[in-house]
Amino acid sequence: MSDKTTDIKTKEKSQLQIDALDYHSKPTPGKVEVISSKSVASERMLSLAYSPGVAVPCIEIAKDPESVYEYTTKGNLVAVITNGTAVLGLGDIGPLAGKPVMEGKGVLFKQFANINVFDLELDAKDPDEFCRAVKALEPTFGGINLEDIKAPECFEIEERLKREMKIPVFHDDQHGTAIICGAALLNACEVTNRKMSEIKVVMNGAGAASISCGRIFMALGVKASNILMCDSKGVVYKGRKDGMNKYKEQFAVETSARTLTDALKGADVFVGLSVAGAMTGEMLKVMGDRPIVFAMANPDPEIDPPTAKKVRPDVIIATGRSDYSNQVNNVLGFPFIFRGALDVRATQINEEMKLAAVHAIAKLAKEEVPEKVSAAYGGQPFSFGPEYLIPKPFDPRVLLWVTPAVAKAAMDSGVARKPIQDFQAYRDSLEAFQGARTGFVRSVMHRVKNQAKASGKSVPTVVFPEGSSSKILKALQTINSEGIIKPVLLGYPEQIRSKMEELGLDDLKDIPIIHPSQHPKFREYVDKLYEMRNRKGVMLREAERLMADPDYFASMMVHMGDANAVVTGATQNYADCVRPILEIIGPGQRHTASGLNLVIFKNRMLFFADTAVNIDPTAEQVATIAIHAARVAEYFRIQPRIAMLSYTNFRSKGESPSKMRKAAEIVKKRYPHYIVDGEMQADTAVNPDIVERIFPICEVKNGANILIFPTLDAGNISYKLVQQLGGAEVIGPFLMGVRKPANVLQRTCTVDDIVNTVALTALEAQAFNESRSSYPGPGEGR
């Protein structure tokens, strides 16, 4: 057992050690579990899951081995394998002690790329024995991730397994670090106006990661003669005998330098994969202008950033730690590289695929960073430069950039056995895994753009009363690049433009900005409001005051046809925003506005209503709300299955059950083709097994997708409980039942919420424009 491990047991534990041990032991030991992807809730299902039904796919696989990918999880299953000979910085602590690391790797595979993992700790130090064990596992896994195996054996093991196996084999300690480091080096050279072919690189450490970094650097254009590698014996030079092996020999060069200090004189780049404190301030001083330092020893770097910047204020520094900028973290690489490799059934992860990952990561760092990434880091803003060379580990876009790049490289280099035919559809599938919100908004954006293109009509104009809101402006940055709407901002132009400049949103400068009281149609709008509301207590002077309010002005723009839709509420009370919409745009012909939430849970989309407007709707109002919700479902080409919810099942005794039963009857009468039933309890509505076993009379057979609540209390409480306790994705509320598209946000909304709402609003506006007389959405109902 190493001294470090002994220290944890014999000395008083630090708070970090206590927290780490509690994290791994409570509430259940370990970090992973196996969860079935199929239900075995009945005797029939048991007969399919195991004998006799399981024999059928066995026979098919025996006839066609490739069908194993169709009938088993092999295609999405990776083995994380170690022999425990080089675990973290703890050294050779054995396979048993290395198990927490392997479990952790499995967690990251699953969380970041939805890849299933079995961790395997082999008691096999001998490379031949190790390789035989791993090779025998090929029928089980779609890929092999080698982990924490000491050098030089790790090189021999990976090379042999890659030759002998027909599935990807990847030693992350080598290549993961090299890929992220390569991306950081590309961008650091760009920031400092250096050329890769001209830089002089000093590497401290000559283990697996260092050797792989050197190879990647050369593939990116660094000259072999410009790389000086150092180990515990000093510089690796031509003719050195002590501590050499064939892998170090590849980096031996003619040089008079013998120490790390000698090597660093005039160097452009220092790459540390060694031990804490290996670089001193004096060493840093002798490097060239604007030195690039990657101090990646963990947990403490070769030189910490505060020390480095004190000695050399012009330094650009990266470490392996999350508490400093420019964290070189392997999680930016391995989950997404394997995702791409598995999805095309690659036979290996080759150099082309690694370089594709390098370039994808480097390019992503130059993109505008979304608010949700900043939010994950305490609201800290990020932009490409010395303090932000590579994306953050929690940037969800890494999956969407790296994975397709790796998959395409596999195809182009001839190692893909299942090429991707439609990369847009592939990216959409990645987004769908990444989060229901992302997948939802992307699908809506695609549909809006495709419908606009197909119809030849221009995209809808959407007006935003809160023109100076930071959240609105940031959301528009995303929306504007998609081209799904023409935005119009209301407010003081100078104030809004100043806010754009403050936020660095130069690409929004061409968006029209309207000051309501200075608009040419202001007087016309005032007169119209007076005409509409003079018998409801609004005099001319009051109409002038109200029309200067951006919310009233926005609603009038929509009412008069000068805009197609309005989105508001990011900074104001919900009721204050709804009022102008109802007074000017007005409810539909059945005079029932309502709120709808989209609830996405385990890849299932549900529609909850009413969640925002009607405290205790009548049966007629409930029916109208259900019809509006059904039409929203039809937007997404989902067949509506409507459940009228109450506290009983098909008894209709009591005020609420009777109301909901009557509402179901009204919907059936007005829309006979809709699948609707009630009253019923919530579990009956969403669980088909209950219907099949207990209530076969129920017309909703496969689980309801539209849940209509008897009161606002029930609807509002339900969606928030599902969101907070069930982990569901909740989008909305959206305003239904108004004559023209209008939606009100909640003040607690995020930028993503606004993007979602605008996307759906654009879809509503397009549907309205295509058929004004029979708007097939939530604005009208017969």
- Residue of 99, 105, 248, 474 marked active site: 105
Whole-Å CA distances, 563 to 121, 379, 485, 602, 743: 63, 34, 11, 37, 14
Name the DSSP class of 233.
T
Structural tokens at position 422? 């439609």
Burial class of residue 81, CB neighbours in 10 A (0-12, 13-18, 19+)? buried
Map tokens 């607690």 to a residue.
748
CA distance 317 to 671: 66
- Residue of 50, 310, 457, 701 marked active site: 50
Biggest CA–CA distance in the chain, Å, is: 100
For 624, the enclosing helix (H) or strand (E) is helix 619-635
Whole-Å CA distances, 510 to 123, 413, 483, 505, 732: 65, 43, 13, 11, 29
Structural tokens at position 644? 């009228």
Handedness of CA 426, 427, 431, 437 (dihedral sign): negative
Instruction: Supply angle C-alpha 513, 516, 518, rounded to 5.
Output: 90
Instruction: Supply angle C-alpha 620, 622, 626, rounded to 5.
Output: 115
Structural tokens at position 625? 């709300």
Q: Tell me how far apart the terminal alpha carbons of the chain are, to the nearest angstrom.
A: 77
Instruction: Supply angle C-alpha 188, 189, 191, rounded to 5.
Output: 65
50 is annotated as an active-site residue: yes
Contacts within 8 Å (CB) and 24+ apart, 310-314:
310/281, 311/281, 311/284, 311/285, 312/284, 312/285, 312/287, 314/289, 314/290
Q: How far is CA 643 from the centre of its chain?
A: 32
For 450, the enclosing helix (H) or strand (E) is helix 436-455
* C-beta separation of 754 from 732 below 8 A: no
Cross-sheet strand order for the sheet of 513-514: 513-514, 486-490, 461-464, 565-568, 742-744
Rg (CA), the chain: 31
233 is annotated as an active-site residue: no
Active site residues: 50, 105
